[in-house]
Amino acid sequence: GVTSSQDLPPEVLLLAHMKSHMREELARIPNYTCLETIARFRKEPDPRSKTPEPLTPLDAIRLEIVYTDRKEWFGSPGSRNLNVADPVAFIGSGMIGNGAFALTLHNIFEVASFTHRGEEDLDGRKAVKYDFRLPRMLGGLEISIPGGVGTVGQEGSIWVDPQSLDLLHMEAHVVEIPPFLPLAESSMRVNYARMRIGAAGVLLAQQADERLLETGGIENYNRLEFTHCHAFSTETSLSFNVDPTPAEPRAIANAAPDGLPALLLVTVQLA
């Protein structure tokens, strides 16, 4: 027989509407670029110590980031060419990765399976929670650490505003860890909010936490902030008798956000 939308459970209809809404939001993200600030921390086990070692600050990295063509591209802050696909090129050691800005979200809404978990209070807001599973074979996350490189799956949860259908929060942890990969656990948490950029309201990642624990006890933790988001455009040119080179996307600074995010740290120097 034929099943109409009126016959479907409310949580199934909500999920369908939310996925459609989020696909539209993801399609708009390539129009914007943000400054990604990564505060990195690290902990190495000390066999002589009887108490757990604390995480110690490693450094802070700032990169410009844009999501387009189902990839995240990076460049130095203020750079007009964002053409580096692997952010490891900007560091000497320690943990760094991609996915928190938009790539992981794209994979979740394209291929993950969802389970409704009901309503919860999320920082004073009513939210609907769904668990998700992203199998290694469908949307695998590649992890490279000393001792091995391998692809893992992801499981986690998302929290959605039932009125606006906006994603509020996402948590994920790795599963299906290959036996040859010396990884104990890894997780990611991302907060989302709607920002006003020019005349548009855009749903973007705001903050993220990434944690990775190796089987040998080494722990890496990164705290990510996405700020200073603005409009993004591409430039094209027509040339003859030269090797064709695709034009790189370029950021434009004439569409700055109307306001600055709360708790933004700004470094100034007196002249």
Tokens read off for 223: 């705290």
> Partners of 170 in the beta sheet?
158, 190
**Minimal CA–CA distance to 71: which of 80, 83, 60?**
83
**What is the per-residue pLDDT for 260?**
52
191 neighbors 205 (Cβ within 8 angstroms): yes
Distance CA 205, CA 191 (A): 6
Q: What is the pTM of this model?
A: 0.81
**What is the per-residue pLDDT for 92?**
83
Query: Where are the strands (E) in the chain, listed by range?
Result: 32-43, 56-68, 71-75, 113-122, 125-134, 141-145, 148-160, 167-175, 183-197, 200-214, 219-234, 249-251
Per-residue pLDDT of the chain (271 residues; tens, 9 = 90+): 545 556 788 989 999 999 999 999 999 998 899 999 999 999 998 877 777 788 999 999 999 999 988 899 999 998 878 989 999 999 988 899 999 999 999 999 999 999 999 999 998 999 999 999 999 988 678 999 988 999 999 999 999 999 999 999 999 999 999 999 999 999 999 999 999 888 788 999 999 999 999 999 999 999 999 999 988 755 555 555 555 454 444 443 333 344 455 555 656 667 5
H helix runs in the chain, sequence order: 10-28, 103-111, 136-139
H helix runs in 120-206, sequence order: 136-139
Using the 8-state DSSP alphabet, how is residue 17 labeled? H
- The string over 10-36, giving b where at least 16 C-beta atoms fall within 10 Å of a residue's C-beta and e elsewhere, is ebeebbeebbebbeebbeebbbbbbbb
Tokens read off for 247: 């034009």
- Give φ, ψ of 114 to 5 degrees: -120, 150
